Amino acid sequence: MSDPLLNNSAASAAVDTIAAVSTPPGRGGIGIVRLSGPESTTIAEQLVRLRGPLEHARARFAEVLDPTADEDDTQSRIDEAVVTFFAAPNSYTAEDLVEIASHGSPVVLDLLLRQALTLGARLAEPGEFTQRAFIAGKIDLTQAEAVRDLIDAQTLAQARLAASQMGGALSARVMPSKHALLELIALLEAGIDFAEDDVSVAPEREIQRRIGAIRPPLTELEATFTHGRVLHDGLTLAIVGRPNAGKSSVFNALVERDRAIVTAIPGTTRDTVSERIALGGIPLELVDTAGLREAVDEAERLGIVRSRQALADAAIVLVVIDASEIGPAGHLHEEDRTILNSLEGRSALIAWNKCDLLDPDTEDTLAAGIESSEPALLAHVDLPVIPTSAVTGQGIAELREAILKLATGGAAAEPGMLTSLRHHRAVTQAIEGLDAASAAATNNIPHEMVLLDLYRALWALDSLTGQTTPDDVLNLIFSTFCIGK
């Protein structure tokens, strides 16, 4: 058995529901997640909390909820969205089509897309919406030729990708699991198709043992996604803190040039300033922000709104605290405390800045105090604290190291990591298939059904390594078992 149509965009137009972020990557004014296919509305309804039923060509307000929060938790609302539904055939693709426009935060868009995939949508191939529109006769021949060229280019890209995957590290890493899975499938298939021969029926224990051996490498692989994705896509680090804490100085020190204007006047930075650097091979977008405080004028107020947005979007937050301001017996400023409180559960670190301004004795005390007097100074803050001086360059190397550690989760780069959502989806689907098969075997479900779950896992891995055909299964059966009469 095989499902060559599993990811066949051309052939399955009428059946699959596809999803993608249809606005350019990065933060825009708004970001749109688009769904097309028969289950678009069902998925959308579960994806967001709609205020009012979906109607053709009508926009509806909706709330994007944190899927991990409780149903009734009012705090679980993470964004607002406008949802527009176009009923088949009066849509771009001639299928049911739903567009969810949110405030453009990449974090929210990513969350929506991943949720949509979990709810049964398939990640759209590049250009697939247009392809569907074309096949449905919605666009003209000139556009159609553009589509053909697009697929053509895709073909080349896929061929290159496939070639690199086939011999690539990811494929090499998945292959042993896939082969072990194929062997289990062959064992069960042989038991069914050659029951007349003396092929013994695989006992449940054996099935569980084999699944147990196939699964761990896959879960390990799955876990590399966090890191792998960072390696691939990079991440954003927002530098926040009170005015004049030295954020821009730290920013400049990290980008190694005077990118942001630095003055002694609090509130110099009005707008966010960003710059890409590579840190240990990871693309890192550094965002310098306006200091957070009660704004003194309109321009600063707007700057602070942007700072808060940057803080919300960033994968890592670097809080810069002016150590010199606090003094030997001092305590954290109220605004610092507020910032730190808002970071609970997030990936963040503290630059204990302007250390050069402390007299050596105090510095020592403070440095020690970070640990000893923690309850007083940084109560309940469980974040790495790096003493720095943007002026002398003290601690900047340590700061880079600490950022890198947060970015990679402490893991070192390894060959064959998962770097794309598509690959990650394939591995999680494989694991889901294995788990379902294991549960089915436990319940003594007949093998031909356990096999459905195993094939689901196999096809998912196929997308990383190349297709398995029914003949491959038969070949394995014939080379493994002495069959035939």
Mark the binding-site residues for GTP, compressed into ranges.
244-249, 263-269, 288-291
Binding of residue 205 to another protein (CB under 8 A)? no
Q: What phi and psi, each to the nearest 5 degrees, are found at residue 149?
A: -60, -35
Window contacting another protein (CB under 8 A); options: 10-18, 68-76, 202-210, 364-372: 10-18
Identify the CA nearest to 383 among candidates 331, 333, 321: 321
- Contact assessment for residue 56 and residue 90, using Cβ atoms and an 8 Å cutoff: yes
The residue among 63 and 197 lying less far from another protein, judged by its C-beta, is 197
| Shortest distance in whole angstroms from residue 190 CB to another protein | 9
Which residues are documented as binding site for Mg(2+)?
Answer: 248, 269
The residue among 189 and 300 lying less far from another protein, judged by its C-beta, is 189
Q: Using CB under 8 A, which of 57, 169, 192, 305 touches another protein?
A: 192
The residue among 156 and 413 lying less far from another protein, judged by its C-beta, is 156
Strands 48-50 and 77-86, by their bridges, are unpaired
Binding of residue 131 to another protein (CB under 8 A)? yes
Indicate the SS3 state at residue 354. coil
Q: State the alpha helices, DSSP H only, in 348-446.
A: 360-372, 374-377, 396-408, 421-442
Cα separation, 167 vs 417, whole angstroms: 14
Cα angle, residue 240 at apex, residues 236 and 245 outer, rounded to 5°: 140
Cα angle, residue 397 at apex, residues 394 and 400 outer, rounded to 5°: 130
Between 453 and 482, how does the x/- string for binding to another protein read (CB under 8 A)? ----------------xxx-xx---x---x
Cα angle, residue 444 at apex, residues 440 and 450 outer, rounded to 5°: 40
Give the helix/strand (H/E) hosting 275.
strand 273-279
Binding of residue 145 to another protein (CB under 8 A)? yes
Cα separation, 255 vs 286, whole angstroms: 8
Which residues are documented as binding site?
Answer: 34, 99, 138, 244-249, 263-269, 288-291, 485
Q: Using CB under 8 A, which of 194, 272, 362, 370 touches another protein?
A: 194
Site for another protein in 14-43 (CB under 8 A): 14-16
| Shortest distance in whole angstroms from residue 1 CB to another protein | 4
Cα separation, 259 vs 268, whole angstroms: 13
| Shortest distance in whole angstroms from residue 149 CB to another protein | 8
- Contact assessment for residue 238 and residue 311, using Cβ atoms and an 8 Å cutoff: yes
Give the helix/strand (H/E) hosting 117.
helix 106-118
Between 76 and 115, how does the x/- string for binding to another protein read (CB under 8 A)? ----------------------------------------
Which residues lie near another protein (CB under 8 A)? 1-5, 7-16, 131, 134-135, 137, 141, 144-145, 147-148, 151-152, 154-156, 158-159, 189, 192-198, 201, 443-449, 452, 469-471, 473-474, 478, 482-485
